[in-house]
Every structure is written in C-alpha cells, then in structure tokens.
Amino acid sequence: MILKVPDEKKALTGRASVAFLRQYARRAVLLSAEKSGMDIKELQNDASGAPIPAGGVFWSLSHKPGYVAGVTATSPIGIDVERIRPVSKAMFNKILDDREQKLAGANSPEFFFRCWTAKEAVLKVTGVGLRGLSRCKILRFSEPATVTVSYDEHPWEIEQAVYDDHIISVVTQGQVVCWVF
C-alpha cells in the first residue's frame, strides 16, 4: 500500500514530520492488512526497532516526504521507497561495488535507487538494518522489475515498481505483490 503524503503535511519539519510520516506509514500497513484479508490489531517493534509479527502477520513500512509505504504478509517481508534523484559518484561507489555497477551498464540515478531500495528491503526483512549493508549484494536483474539480492549468501527476490519518480521495492520470496497506489 503506497500513500501520497497530503500537501499540507509536507510542510511539517523535524520531529513533527517524522512523527506524522511514521503514523501515516503505519496506516499504510493496516490498510495493506485489510486489503489482504489479514487481521492485525497492533503494530509493535522490538527493542532494536524491528517490526514484531502480529498474530502471524509480518509487516514492514517505509516513509519519505512524498510517500509512505506499508506491506503485510504471512512470511517475513520488507519494503523500501525512495525518490529518484541525483546521486554523487562517491555515494554510488560506496553502495555498489564494481561488479554490481556493471550489471546494468549504466550509472543512472534510477539504477542506483533500484539497487538501494532492493538492498534496504532485504536488510529490513532480515532485521539487521544498515549495519549489514556490506554483506548485501545485487546478484541479478530480471525484467521487467525483479532484482535478486544476496545477504550472507541467501538469495532474496525483490519486486519493484516505479511511481511518480519513486522506486518501491518489496521482498517477495514467491509471494504475489498487489500494488495499491
């Protein structure tokens, strides 16, 4: 479930913005559960901030100033959303090794954010967060919008969508993604 942030809320800054975006992303999670016929009452996180499955329902969320995203599933799930924007060569090189950069043959911002959101979704599903970034590697791209990422040599399948200059990545592991914008 992808929700556009209302224009009047985009003016929020600092803690007020973060608090709103977090709550709005949680609303996206609950809407995803409802749309999928899953019963989820309360969204809780563990001490490290990772989502705790509720009644057998796994969930993940992401938020940016323009959009929030939430997803639910019957197995571990991860989601990330990013606006496509210019990226410095230094950032490109920090996030993607030479082999990963050669996979697409281009160093475009869209390619970078396809990789970044795929890796971030995997790091969310594994619960390790950004500290595991160096162990997260892009293995291959399958068109139209699938990426395989390895984390500690375990492959993860990620489905991607582009919407309004944003890339959204969801770890699928064989589950069907029903995109709702």
- Return the domain boundaries, the chain: 2-73, 79-171
pLDDT tens sequence across 57-76: 999 999 999 999 999 999 99
pLDDT tens sequence across 146-163: 999 999 989 999 999 999
Pure H helices in 36-133: 89-95, 98-104, 109-126
Distances (CA, A) of 124 to 21, 43, 61: 18, 15, 9
Residue 105 scores a pLDDT above 70: no
- Give domain 79-171's CATH number out of 3.90.470.20, 3.30.43.10, 3.40.50.2300, 1.10.10.60: 3.90.470.20
pTM for the predicted model, two decimal places:
0.93
Q: What is the distance between the alpha carbons of residues 119 and 115, in angstroms, rounded to a whole number?
A: 6
Comparing CA positions, the residue from 92, 78, 88 lying closest to residue 175 is: 78
Chain mean pLDDT for the chain: 92
Q: Which two tokens stand for residue 122?
A: 């995997």
